[in-house]
Structure formats: C-alpha cells, structure tokens
Amino acid sequence: MTNPLLSNWSTAFEMPPFTEINDSDFAPAITTALTQARENINTIANNPDAPSFENTIDALEQADALLSRVLGVFYNLAGADSTPKREALQRDFAPLLATYSSEITLNPALFARIDTLWQTRETLGLRDEQMRVLMLTRRSFVRSGALLEGAARDRLRDIMKRLAILGTRFMQNLLEDERNWFMALDTDALNQLPDFVVDAAIAAGTEKGLQGPVITLSRSLITPFLQFSPNRTLRQRAYEAYCARGANSGATDNRAIAHETLALRQERAQLLGYDTFASFKLETEMAKTPKNVRDLLMQVWKPARSAAMADADALTQLLHLDGIDGPIQPWDWHFYSNQRRQTLHDLDEASLKPYLQLNRMIDAVFDTANRLFGLEFTPLETPLYHKDARAWEVTRAGQHMAVFIGDYFARGSKRSGAWCSAMRSQQKLSGDIRPIVVNICNFSKPPEGACALLSWDDARTLFHEFGHALHQILSNVTYESISGTSVARDFVELPSQLFEHWLEVPEILETFATHAETDAKMPAEMLEKLLNAATYDMGFQTVEYVASALVDLAFHDGPAPADPMQKQAEILEEIGMPSAIRMRHATPHFAHIFTGDGYSSGYYSYMWSEVMDADAFAAFEEKGDAFDPNLAASLEANILSQGGILEADILYKAFRGRLPGVTALLKGRGLT
C-alpha cells in the first residue's frame, strides 16, 4: 500500500490528505525522506564539477524537499493534536533529525564547495537575493561548527543531538502536566462565576470526558477564573498549579532538563569560540550584543516596576476592604485588578465579552487584511486533521495566494500558547509555490451550539498570530530559506505585534464588535471606555514579561548556573521583582527558551519588535488613516514580502526612513 506521505497529493492546492494519513505512516516516511535527502546531499558534496551557485546552493535548497513536506505535516499535528504515538515518534525523531542536520553542516566536502563560492562571490554574477542566501548559508555552516575539527567537531555533534532530545522531553513534560491537572467546581463555586466562565468550565469538563465543570490550566480558562472567582482558596489552588507546571517532581519535572540544557548551550558556544551562549546567539540578531538587550529591558523595567508597585498598593487597599490582612498575593491580582478596572473605567469583562465573538473577530481580521493588502478569504470545504480546525483559500485579484488554517480551541491534545507555522512555505525555486499557513490558539471552547466568546486578550492574540500569517502569505522571494518569517528573531514579532494595533481602530470595533445574542453593535460609550482602558494594568503585564526576558538573558550570558531555580531567584531579587507578581514564564515551564533554540537568549525579542511596531503604527496615525493605501503598500513591499532578503534594520528603514527609539513603546504602554 502506498504511503500517502510519500505520494503526490492530488488534493485541492496540494493540501496534505489528512484522512488518508495514519500515525503508522510517519516513521517509514521519515526513513525514506531522510535516505533521499542524504543521497541528495552526497551528490552535491561529491559532484566532480566545479562548484557553482546552481549545483551547490540551489541544489542544497531543494535537497530535503520531501523531508520538509513530511515534517511539515508531522510537527503541526504533534503540536496541535498530540497522541501518545505522536509523542513517542517525536522522541524517536529528535535525535535522528539532529544527527542528519549535523551531517550536513559538518560535511567537509560540502562546506568546501560553499566556501569556494563565498571566496569567489564577486566573480559569480549573483543577484542580490542569491548573494544574501550564499552569505546566510555559509554563516549557518560556520555557526554550526563547519570550521571545527576532530574531537571538537564530534563533541558538537553529540551536544546538538542531546539538546534535541532535551527540548522534546521538556515540551512533552509540560504538555502532560497541563493535560493531567484540573479542578472540579461545585455548585457554590460555579454560582459565583459569570455565565461565560461557567460555559467554558462545562465545555472543559466535557472535553475531558467528565460529568461536571472544571478549571484547567488553559490560559483562556484559568485567567477569567482568577478574575471572577471570589473564592480565594480556589484561586490560590488554581494559580499555584499553573505556576507549578514542569516543577511537580517525578517523571515530568523539567528542572534537571533546564540545568543540562543551559550547560550544553554554554559548552556549544565555547566550542564555537564565544564567551557565552548569549553572545553567540545575539550576533546575528538586530540587538547584536547582550548589553544592548539589557539596556533596552532596563529602560522599560524601571517605569514598569514603578507603575506596578503603585497598582499593587491600590489593589492591597481593595483586599483590606474585604477584611483580608497582609499584602496582595499573586493569586489575588487578577481578581482585584478586574474590580479596580470596573471602578476606574466602568468596564466589566462579563459585559464586554459578548461583543467579542470569535467568528466576528475572525471577520475583523480578514477585513483588515483586505483593506490593507487586498486579500480575500473563501472558506474551504476540505478534510483537516481535527474537527475544530477550519480552512480558507486566500486570493488577491483572483490569484491564489495561500491556504490559511485556523485552529482556535483549547484541548488536551494541544500544547499551550498560540503560534503560527507553515505546513508549506512560499518559494519560487521549484515553481510558484504558495504557502499553507496555520494559526493555533487555545481559546475556551463553548458548549455545543453556543457562541465562542473571546476576552480582549484573546482577541489581541487572534490579531497577533494573523500578523505572523500575513508575513507568510505575502512573502515573495525565490528561496525558502529566507521566506516569510525566516528573519532575525528580534524582527519576526514586528508584523504580528504591528497587526495587533488594528484591533483598536475604532471603525473595526464599530463594525465587528456585535453582541452574540442581540447582534447589536458595541455601544459607543463602551467602545470609548474600552479604548481608554487599553493601557490599564500595563505595569503588571510589562513586569511579568520583562522579568522573564531578563532571566532568559542572564541564564545565557555567563557560565551555566549550577541551580537554575536559585539563579532565577537571585535575578528577581536583584531587579526588585514585586512580590505580588511572578514571571510570565518561570524556568520549569519556559517553553520559549527550553524546547529549542528559537527564543533562547531571545525572549526579549517581543520587546525589541514592540519598539518598532509602536513606531510603525505611528506612521499610520501621522497620516490620519489606519488604512492609508500608500503606507500599506510600503509595509508589504519593504517588510511583509521580503522575508530575510536583507538585514532587518535595512528593511525597517526602507519603510520608516529611520530606526525608532524606545519612546513610542513607553507611550503606547502608558508608561511615560
């Protein structure tokens, strides 16, 4: 029987044939794809012809096309709809793929061909894009150890294999902790909650096969519970469980994994000639050095901490009015902050939420993309990997641009958080290949037949992830290695965070924020209050984020800590972390930095990109039109379509004319 992962896909837009794919197909498909990729690499490396861009770089770009296709399906399924079999396959595949990657970058004959091209690059008549790809390819090989020899080369290979195993284990431990914990609610606890939280708790219990409502560790459920439950004991129990993910001892404890990961990263950096892993990692980012990162974070930390401390005093007074002595605790913050917001802004989450219907917010996202970039979205009736996922064809002026898949609801088989990925990336080397882009979120699923409602934070997440999707959809480059979001880590968040701003454009909310039961538009008074409260509690939000970024940086900017948890505590004490606020991502569940290298030493990148996104949206505000066609065209031409074709600072300056300072960020967060 033909393996569907290895056959040609005759589906619409060559979508993966999900209904034909079984978990048992992945291992043999990976084996076949790896064999083919290795044969292709050996052919390139041992080619008797003199190296040319076509027979080396072009060939290398296409060498593992089948492997990329299979992995594009597998890792999307493993993250969004995990099963015990898929988790086992992840553990099996991690060392195999790390070994394969090392075989490529540590292949002397292959690197010799690349290096020859680099040394003679001025004589090759290369286009700018080809020159960029050649530079990035050689740099990647060097940074992966191509210049190492002997024992150092072998040790680096072992380190990379071990790091791949550790990253997989870290994520799976976290997923298991999140999947296994829940807190049942009795009638008294339920009666104290607004209807939308009750509905979400009932749906969460149903998803787990239970008879009654439960609170899970899904952020979209636990946050409103913390906001609205007056039961302090239950709030503390839920909050502490959320913070304890990955630190519950036993088989799923991530603390030893974090320690070993940090030690191996530091050893890797030193093998490659760097003092610290942070110095190695940041060399290719916009920030360039740990000092530049720390300087930015501390410029934001000081005003954010001052705002948070003032808010803590105000919330403590509310706590005391309830007859509770002592300072406010982390599990109290959301509850009393919600009360205070109602007092200051006359804005109640329970009254607001019916106006933020998921389907209407999806319409808002699509309408914004249409008005800015002329994109149109048509629902696709095609089999997908899960019944909750849905797909649209993306077109412009009748031309196919992409397939977009949205998978929005939390479930036990999905890892936490929200992300954007591509099952297939845009490129032109192998023909006009258009992407298959996926947005994954973890919103609370309503009971059957009920309308899915979002919090304001959920709606922002929806816009954020679609900003990443636009970076993929509008990509217009030749080479997949620089396509879409293949850019500096501290630049990749610019399109996503910039797109968030359109959620706050009044005409978007006036059109799409309609009541789930009456279909009435959001009252003008409520809309005004909502926008006026946009920076409410920003001290808290900034402190919990910046603290995490500073810990990440400190972990990697020096010798690996003997005890990461002790090091975390020392850093938080040094910066004066408010006792009522905890890190957004404590070490044992800091998936951004411990499930792979992507955000290691790079969690700051959201803040670095925010400096640009605040300044970039200010350009639209200066025009007096959030949909200014010339600015939208410039944004696409200079950033969204360009992928990694140029250095990030060059792309930004082409759009804005200059690089920004931190002022716009502080103003946008209300921290001036």
Going by their DSSP bridges, the two strands 419-424 and 436-443 should be labelled as antiparallel
Domain(s) of CATH 1.10.1370.10: residues in the chain: 251-347+537-582
Q: CB neighbours (10 Å) of residue 172? A: 20
- 23-42 residue pLDDT tens: 999 999 999 999 999 999 99
Topology of the domain comprising 12-105+107-143: Glutathione S-transferase Yfyf (Class Pi); Chain A, domain 2 (1.20.1050)
| Region 251-347+537-582: CATH code | 1.10.1370.10
Identify the bridge partners of residue 269 per DSSP, sorted by sequence position.
none
Going by their DSSP bridges, the two strands 376-380 and 399-409 should be labelled as unpaired
What does the pLDDT read at residue 477?
98
Q: CB neighbours (10 Å) of residue 255? A: 15
Widest distance between CA atoms in the chain: 83
Predicted model pTM? 0.95
H-assigned helices in 192-289: 195-207, 219-228, 232-243, 255-271, 277-282
- Are 97 and 154 spatial neighbours (Cβ–Cβ below 8 Å)? no
- CA 143 to CA 7: how far, in whole Å? 35
Residue (of 346, 407, 360, 345) closest to 517 by Cα position: 360
- 6-24 residue pLDDT tens: 999 999 999 999 999 999 9
- CA 525 to CA 322: how far, in whole Å? 30
Domain(s) of CATH 1.10.1370.40: residues in the chain: 354-532+606-668
Nearest-Å Rg of the Cα atoms of the chain is 25
- CA 468 to CA 616: how far, in whole Å? 16
3-state secondary structure of 657: coil
Q: What share of the chain is helix, strand, coil (3-state, %, to 5)?
A: 60, 5, 30
Topology of the domain comprising 354-532+606-668: Neurolysin; domain 3 (1.10.1370)
- CA 606 to CA 598: how far, in whole Å? 13
Checking if the pLDDT of 1 tops 80, the result is no
What does the pLDDT read at residue 611?
94
Q: CB neighbours (10 Å) of residue 10? A: 7
What does the pLDDT read at residue 328?
97
Structure tokens at 659: 């690089």
- 529-585 residue pLDDT tens: 999 999 999 999 999 999 999 999 999 999 999 999 999 999 999 999 999 999 999
Q: What percent of the chain has pLDDT over 70?
A: 100
Cα dihedral 214→218→219→220 (10° resolution): -70
Structure tokens at 60: 């290398």
465 is a catalytic site residue: yes
Residue 366: φ, ψ to 5° = -65, -40
Out of 61, 285, 465, 480, pick the active-site residue.
Answer: 465
Checking if the pLDDT of 449 tops 90, the result is no
What does the pLDDT read at residue 348?
84
Region 260-272 average pLDDT: 98
Domain(s) of CATH 1.20.1050.40: residues in the chain: 12-105+107-143
Structure tokens at 356: 């933020």
- 318-375 residue pLDDT tens: 999 999 999 999 999 999 999 999 999 998 888 999 999 999 999 999 999 999 999 9
Q: What percent of the chain has pLDDT over 90?
A: 96
- 195-228 residue pLDDT tens: 999 999 999 999 999 989 999 999 999 999 999 9
